[in-house]
Amino acid sequence: MGRVLDGATIAAAIKEEVAADVRQLAQQGVRPGLAAVLVGNVAASEIYVRSKVQTCADLGLFSELITPPESVTTEDMLDLVCALNSRDDIDGILIQLPLPSQVDTKALLDAVAPAKDVDGFHPVNAGRLQAGRPALAPCTPAGIIEILKRSGIAMAGANAVIVGRSDIVGKPAAMLLLHRNATVTICHSKTRDLGAVTREADILVAAIGRPGFITADMVKPGATIIDVGINRITERSEFDRYFAGDAKREATFAKRGSTIVGDVHPQAFAVAGAYTPVPGGVGPLTIAMLMANTVRAARMRRGL
């Protein structure tokens, strides 16, 4: 079994650095601020957003939770974003997805000022990232880079294969790895003989959103696996497929009626030289990098 890359420990270290940065900014009269917009009453989103707000409080950032009703219109949301764009006490704007069907999500995300786009979704930030210019990078890909860097995984010269081409993870992760001199291949549903490509990877990033999709025979021995997937399974047959004989998982499944599996089959980790577990790998980095992006946005907006 390969070395476990502990995302929770790395996230905690980043949060400590953010807190120190916040204290330093306070001496200059600056307190970074994050506005979190949560529409409606989706339980999972509520838990996630409130954890972000709590993390802001823990690290000394200002935060404001805004909760428009489920019936909100695109026009109402655009007015809200416009108001947040103009507020000097708000450095980052987070719009929790998904939004209700009547809201034009693309128009809304494009309306966020690029300087306050701490999710890194705006086309301007995507363009800056591609060009290698200072930009707010999406939190999950930025977290992947921090895991690799802080775990001593060499990126320069490595063959990096990314399975998944989303605008949120796959494409920006490819750009970030490319800027660190990795040789990058992006794979997707139309890739021919996917296993032949993934077996060439020194760094394999799985971000395709399909449980246990990457199997042991698709992994180069000694490779580093970054598993971005978070898939909840509730069927006993699925559990046995991934975790048969895992007593700890068995206890969790019996208690909750579900468990989490990534995009990588757990048996593949035995082939890897290092890997991120699910949960406890990439996930914790997302909030940590959101906090780091908010502080970075505060500095960039003020030319600090």
Active-site amino acid positions: 52, 96, 119
Token pair of 131, please?
């060009």
Report CA 10 to chain centroid distance, whole Å: 14
At residue 100, what is the residue type? P
Report CA 187 to chain centroid distance, whole Å: 19
- Structural contact between residues 172 and 126, judged by C-beta atoms closer than 8 angstroms: yes
What is the β-pairing status of strands 231-233 and 259-261? antiparallel
Token pair of 47, please?
């838990």
- In sign, the C-alpha dihedral spanning 281, 183, 189, 137 is positive
Give the three-state DSSP class for 187. Answer: strand
- Structural contact between residues 203 and 226, judged by C-beta atoms closer than 8 angstroms: yes
Give the three-state DSSP class for 147. Answer: helix
- CB neighbour class for 46 (10 Å; exposed up to 12, middle 13-18, buried from 19): middle
- Cα separation, 120 vs 246, whole angstroms: 38
At residue 37, what is the residue type? V
- Cα separation, 281 vs 91, whole angstroms: 28
Token pair of 297, please?
């946005």
